[in-house]
Structures are given as structure tokens and as C-alpha cells.
A and B are shown apart, each in its own frame.
Chain A
């Protein structure tokens, strides 16, 4: 099988996260456009300099990416709409990199943005996909909790994981969120006792295993390194990135995503080993999925995730493997498709030294991982990228 070509020459700049709130009267186009405005301001460029747009949103309908060009009065030569949920940010990065490498665009704004209104999460869950509508949602109306409860229960039985193991992930992320002002749950301390005594949602999942749906936007600009340097912007480079869709379809219950299919070639392309990763951003819609990413991306062996999180500090300043350094979705909130960009945006902040109170010291390499689209019983999209501190 061929492997992805080099991402040399690509720079990611201007990390923007904004507008996180539990419910909003604004539309998705407000969120996406507001992120765009802040990206332009952060980069010190004109709106007309942005000639490519890659967007993801669950709540944009009936509008689409095309219509946004008129909303924002822009003429573009490259556009993508990426409906890949938690993998959207990495997929946007991959697609936009190729466009810029090959001259289809010079500056691409990559943005995930979603609004949230009371009841909108139920509407999304109740009409998510053909398979979900016919074969998942009717069984108890649990929404995504059902598939993840089944995955978590199976993982616990197979690998001997305990609730404390999942709790370590949630509690560490809350600690990180307490140093990231935009996190919606960052003002609420969470102890392991709090985690363990929370109300049950769908056994074995309890309240703090579940993300809080919210509104918010995340974005970054993608351009050539020379452009970033000439603009005087701090930037991040892409050492390697890959993705899989519906990997291991014959596994009866999902105990691995697509990551094991490309982890070795990812590290080979990046020229570094897992031990040289300074921070890891996983897609944490339920802690068990973070464990699958740690295992699939070579931080530990398959099934060794519980031992790994018992032995490894996951806080941004714990000296172990800083994980979901802004708090992840579990503590920041899950802003629809923006959640698929959260890890990329936070990695850019960390690697450019602009993170603030949750800054990881000496952050040179970040692994950011994405996971998305629970069509029926499992997440279909898996993606990951290794990013490195660039210049300027």
C-alpha cells in the first residue's frame, strides 16, 4: 500500500477558539464567520487574502459551505465541507495541505463551528443517519451514549479496565481545564471521588464520562511556511498525517479504531518515535475512546491502556504525557463539529508557546488524533497527525 506524501512546506497558524456557551441563539454561520474574523485579525491579513475555506458543522443546514461565501462576501478558489465529526479537523488539515502544496489555494481557513439550542442535540441524535435511525436510536433513545456504553462495557470486560482508569483521564483533563479559561467546566473541580459517585447515565457510563454538548467555534489558517514567516507568524509544521474509514469492520464490538493500520508509517514519515511526542490530544467523546487512541497510536500496547493511565501523569504539568491539555471535550464542552478541530487548535497553541496557564514546557512535537461518526455501533473515521514546532 502507498503511504501519504510529505507535508513539507505547510504551516498552521493563528489558533482560534471562541464563543463557547451551553446554548446560543446564534446560527452556525455566526460561529464560523466569527472564527474567520478572528483568524484574519490574528494573522494580520486581509479577508481577500483567504482564498480557501474548509468548514465543518452539524448545524449549518439548510446552508452549506458554498452559501457561506456569500454570507461573508468572499471569492474563493478552493472550498471543502467536511462532515466527519471528531475527525474533521485533521481531515481539513490533510485536504487543505494538498491544496496549498499544489497551488489550488494560498491561504485556507479551516473552521469547525456549531451552535446549540435547547433540544437541538436530541434532534441531531434522533435523525443522525439511516443506520442509526433504523437500528440504533429506536433502542432506548440513548443517542451516542448507547454505542459508547456497549464499547466501554466490552473493553472493561476484555481488558480488565476499571472505572478508576477512565476516571484518571477525566480528572486529569479537568485539572487541565482549570488552567484554560474558555473551558465551560473549568470552574468546577473534579476529584476521582466526584467522578466515581456521579449519577449513572448508561452502565458503565456515568455523568463525567459523557461530554456536554455546547456551541462554539475552533479554527486555524493553513499556508506555506514562507508566507507564515513573511507575515511574522509563529507556526506549526505537519510531520505526518493519515486517516482510515471503517477499519476492522469485522470486529464485533469496536476495540480499536483505524490507528493501528497507519501508526507505524506515521512515525516513520515523521522521523520520530512515540516517546518523542511531548503532548497528545485525543478525541475524548468518552474516556474509553482516548484509551483506544493511546493504544492504536503506540503509546502502549493494545489492552494496556488502563495500566498506561495508571502509570502516566496526563496533566499538562505532570511530567508524564500531557493529554488533552485544554481539558478536551469532557471539560471544555463538545461544540459539535468544532470538537473535531479542538485538538489541532490546542496543539498549535501549545507548539507556538501561546497556550497560557496550561502551557506545556518544551513542547516540540504533538500527536493529535480524531475519531468520529457513530453511524450505528461504532465510530467510522479515525485520523491522526504529528505536528511540530516551526519557526518565526
Chain B
């Protein structure tokens, strides 16, 4: 399989998002102009990757054949301490209302996406990523 999603995320360790060098707003989803001040001043920068799970769902039905073989698949909406709401793959067993760390990961086809895991269970998080054949990116 080839890369099929254009998420715009760079191959970087931790969490790197478009930040406005004029007003400081962290923007997500990625866009070309800052959503707050409309300046053409967005730069991909490392941000605080801690967030709070607002809501989560286990997908039992997918329109994408690649996911269909791995259902149910857990997705969360996470409010990052640095501002934006992101959707992310969520480590199993992590409920809403808990703190998570969000990182850029790459699936086996090279699609870069966001994954949220419990920062206090590094071992379990690594095991989860290995099981679904996702790997953390390195800068």
C-alpha cells in the first residue's frame, strides 16, 4: 500500500504543528494562513504535546479496507494544552477525561498521523503502537 492520506504532518519526533510566528496561535488542522490573525506566518514547530481526552469512540465500521481488518479501532478527540482540538488514534483502555501525550506516528505505509497515549504507561503505549504496526517518527 502507498501513502494515501494527505495529513500534512512532518516526520518529526513528538508533536510538531503549524504555529503563527506573528500571533503565536497553534493551528490545527493544518492550513496555509493563521486562523487567528490571517498572517502568512505559519511555521511547523514543536509544541507541548499534553492534552485531555474529551471524547472517544470505538469504530466498528470503516470505509477504508485497511482499517476494516483491525476493527474495532479507537479514536479520540483531544484538547491540547497548547490550544487546538485534534483527532488521534487512542491507546486502548484510556478513557475520556484522562491526560494523554500526542505524538506524530507513521503507519506501515508511511501515512503520518497523530496518536494519543497515556504518558504514565510508556511501556503499554509502545506495545500498542507495535501491535498496530505504527512507529514514532524521529526528527
Contacts and interface: CB of A to CB of B under 8 A. Distances in A.
A183 interface: no
A134 B59 contact: no
Contacts of B89: 139-140
Contacts, number: 113
B24 interface: no
B57 interface: yes
B57 A202 contact: yes
Given A135-B28, A136-B87, A140-B67, A203 B57 contact: yes
B85 interface: yes
A151 interface: yes
A138 B5 contact: yes
Interface string B64-101: 10110000110111010000011111000000100000
Contacts of B75: 139-140, 142, 146, 149-150
A153 B87 contact: no
Interface in A176-222: 199-205
B62 A142 contact: yes
Contacts of B64: 126, 140-141
Given A135-B87, A136-B87, A138-B5, A150 B59 contact: no
A126 B65 CA distance: 12
A5 interface: no
Interface string B1-42: 000011110000000000000000000111100000000000
A376 B62 CA distance: 17
B91 to A, nearest CB: 14
Nearest to A378: B85
A57 interface: no
Contact of B77 (A138, A143, A377): A377
A202 to B, nearest CB: 5
Contacts of B6: 133-134
A268 interface: no
B85 A377 contact: yes
A121 B63 CA distance: 9
B111 interface: yes
A122 interface: yes
A299 B33 CA distance: 40
B60 A199 contact: yes
A126 to B, nearest CB: 7
A72 interface: no
Chain A interface size, as a band, is: 35 or more
Contacts of B77: 150, 154, 252-253, 377
B60 A201 contact: yes
Contact of B55 (A126, A154, A200, A201): A154
A153 B55 CA distance: 6
B87 A146 contact: yes
A125 interface: yes
B56 interface: yes
A157 B96 contact: yes
Interface in A107-162: 121-122, 125-126, 130-131, 133-143, 145-146, 149-151, 153-154, 157
A134 B111 CA distance: 11
Contacts of B88: 139
Contact of B87 (A133, A139, A145): A139
Contact of A142 (B7, B56, B63, B66): B63
Contacts of A154: 54-55, 77, 96
Contacts of B55: 150-151, 153-154, 157, 253
A146 B72 CA distance: 12
A137 B5 contact: yes
Given A134-B7, A376-B29, A252 B79 contact: yes
Contacts of A153: 55-57, 96
Given A136-B87, A202-B61, A252 B67 contact: no
A374 to B, nearest CB: 12
A153 B86 CA distance: 16
A202 B60 contact: yes
A-B pairs, 3 with minimum CB distance: A141-B64, A135-B29, A149-B57
Interface of A: 121-122, 125-126, 130-131, 133-143, 145-146, 149-151, 153-154, 157, 199-205, 252-253, 376-377
27 contacts: A131-B29, A134-B7, A134-B29, A134-B30, A135-B29, A135-B86, A136-B87, A137-B5, A139-B89, A139-B114, A140-B64, A140-B67, A141-B63, A141-B67, A142-B59, A146-B57, A146-B75, A149-B59, A149-B75, A150-B57, A151-B55, A153-B96, A199-B60, A203-B60, A252-B79, A253-B55, A253-B77
